[in-house]
Structure 1
Amino acid sequence: MEEIEFYIDAAKETMDGALKHLTIELSKIRAGKATPAMLDGIQVDYYGMMTPLTGAASITVPEARTIVVKPFERKMIPEVEKAIRNSNIGLAPMNDGEVIRLNIPPTTEERRKELVKKAKAEIEVAKVNVRKVRQEANDSIRKLKNDGVSEDAVKAGEERVQKLTDSYIVKVDSIFADKEKDIMSV
């Protein structure tokens, strides 16, 4: 039974990772509201070394549709601006010599529906990942039969993995419902 517990714990940990990845990916889908997370993943050439934007500038959201990026050094403004332009987030940076402002345009109904579809695609990827973890855990548990673990223990382990999978699928659906509500609210 100890081996079965090990595989169930490992599956839970991997499923947690899939949920974390999902929330990161969904945070990149902007719903017309400014959030610093929209700039996650942007790298800046900071003295010859690629650095996350947060390592070269402070990011604030003074208004619902505006992000302000203030580089720690004034001479980094062109580099930060270039990194934002090249990041394909669809925002045009405007700099006033002190800070870079990013205005988030209001989203149309059609665009919000596109964003929901994009979120739905990320949800499906997360569900596939959770199910893949279930399959791997069940395969590992089934192999324990060869090591002398009883068939009943293997069945019980598979049932626990299925319950774990079901609970994570419910969590994924809940995350999607929240994101869809967030995207569709004007």
Structure 2
Amino acid sequence: MKISAILFFVLLITNCSSDSGDASSTGSDNSSGNTTGTIMLLGADTAIIGTQLNTGFVGSSLAAGGQPDYIVIVDAASTVSFTEPNILTPNLADTDNGLILVVTDASSISGFKGISMSISVGGIRNDYACTTPVSTFIDCGINSISLDIGNKTIIFDNLIVTNTNTSTVLTINGTLTW
């Protein structure tokens, strides 16, 4: 899996946000931890990638320096490290069979939210993305992402992502806490 593709999306997210910091944040500092909860997938690609994400670890970053709040979720065997000034880096245990999911939700401030997800199975990488408002990717859907770093919760409610190579659509539902 190419971490550079995920980091590119994070940079895209930060450039699209007009947020200059979240003074009303209800949360604590940047955090990380093991996930609990279930994320289910629905769509044609589930024959290849499965119907449930194998999440295991989350790194989160509160808005700073013009960047929105965002998280990086990885599979159960991997971790996420934090470096200043607000960069989360996935550390994959197995690049042939892994998950990287980058999520931002600055919709209450700038109206922007987005997903970039890479799932590798048997060395084959499947990349998915969505943004709201729509840009180059499919629209994520109204109220489809609820990210609350302060309470260490992410909710996906009929989130729609598209495979960036085949245009196949996946629907994502579920809740994770960390």
How would you bin the TM-score normalised by the shorter chain? under 0.3
Question: Higher helix proportion, which one?
Answer: 1
Which one has a larger percent strand, Structure 1 or Structure 2? 2
TM-score, length of structure 2 as denominator length: 0.26
**Bigger relative contact order, structure 1 or 2, given CA contacts below 8 A and separation 6+?**
1
Give me the TM-score of the superposition, normalised by structure 1.
Answer: 0.25
Q: Which has the larger radius of gyration?
A: 1
